[in-house]
Structure 1
Amino acid sequence: MGFNNALRSLIIFSTLVCGTAFALEQPIVVSFADQPINKFNQKLELAQQQDRSWSQQPESISAHYAGSSFQLAKVKKYQGKVVTYNVSGASEQHPKMLLILSMEKQKNRWKLDAARLTWQCKNGLHFGTDRCSNNH
């Protein structure tokens, strides 16, 4: 068994073992789709000027961007930024979605740097932007 096969087996094994609890320690993301952030940042700036409670902490900012169909799964600090991972449940019509938001504080105000969406097809081992088939 070559190194690449051993590594692939280890990744698959760790995903299967952790998959039931969402494996957010390190989800395997192979591709993502950038999501718009400019209008949200304008809304966030206004909310911070008005001292709206949701605009003060990364967790609540993340929840506001993600919406009610997503649940905050993890918050991580990375290179001076705060990265949040929000996950939605899978259904027969939709794959499990993962929304990754990166934000930082500039001049005492939060601002999104990036919003990236990726998903996991039914019985999939990784998150990506592949088309999911509706076949069971």
Structure 2
Amino acid sequence: MSVINAFRSIIVLAPLLCGSAFALEQPIVVSFADQPINKFNQKLELAQHQKRNWSKQPESISAHYAGNRFQLAKVKQYQGKVVTYNVSAAKGKHPKMLLIISMEKQRDNWILDAARLTWQCENGLHFGTDRCSNNH
């Protein structure tokens, strides 16, 4: 992954609302790291062929990719794609993370276009890929 692909210019996201413990209001994402999607897309294609329940809707596909540390915050339609925003709470030395997944339907099957991870350091004003200080 090149530095150009890993770090992006300022992107302002629409408001994200979910449970009070994960509430985000208009987070500013200044950079993100692209996450691997090829192996997941292979797994997703097989699951769709086998008609597995998790592979039928964007919300459950997103949850399957994100894992149990994340909670779905918002689902949005954008330029013909479905974009999901998943948030994890800050725990101990781990910062609050935001996982943004973009997917589209191709020939009646879903496929991930991108998965991008960014985080918010303690007392941070934005989400980015900066190193967080472990000093609390």
The TM-score range, normalised by the shorter chain, is 0.7 to 0.9
Partner of 1:88: 88
> How many residues align structurally?
117
Report the 3-state secondary structure (helix = DSSP H, G, I; strand = E; otherwise coil) of the residue aligned with 1:128: coil
Query: What runs of 5+ residues in structure 2 fail to find an aligned partner?
Result: 1-11, 13-21
For each residue in 1:85-109, what CA deviation from the matched residue of structure 2 results, as whole angstroms up to 9, or x when unmatched? 0000001220000000000000000
CA separation in 2, counterparts of 1:35 and 1:116? 6
CA separation in 2, counterparts of 1:61 and 1:99? 13
Report the 3-state secondary structure (helix = DSSP H, G, I; strand = E; otherwise coil) of the residue aligned with 1:65: helix
Partner of 1:41: 41
Match of 2:23 among 16, 21, 24: 21
What does 1:91-110 correspond to in 2, within 5 Å? 91-110=91-110
CA separation in 2, counterparts of 1:85 and 1:70? 9
Q: Which of the two has higher C-alpha Rg? A: 1
2:116 is the counterpart of 1:116: yes
One-letter code of the match for 2:43? Answer: K
Report the 3-state secondary structure (helix = DSSP H, G, I; strand = E; otherwise coil) of the residue aligned with 2:75: strand
Root mean square deviation, CA, Å: 1.6
Report the 3-state secondary structure (helix = DSSP H, G, I; strand = E; otherwise coil) of the residue aligned with 2:29: coil
Report the 3-state secondary structure (helix = DSSP H, G, I; strand = E; otherwise coil) of the residue aligned with 2:28: coil
Deviation for aligned residue 1:22: 1.6
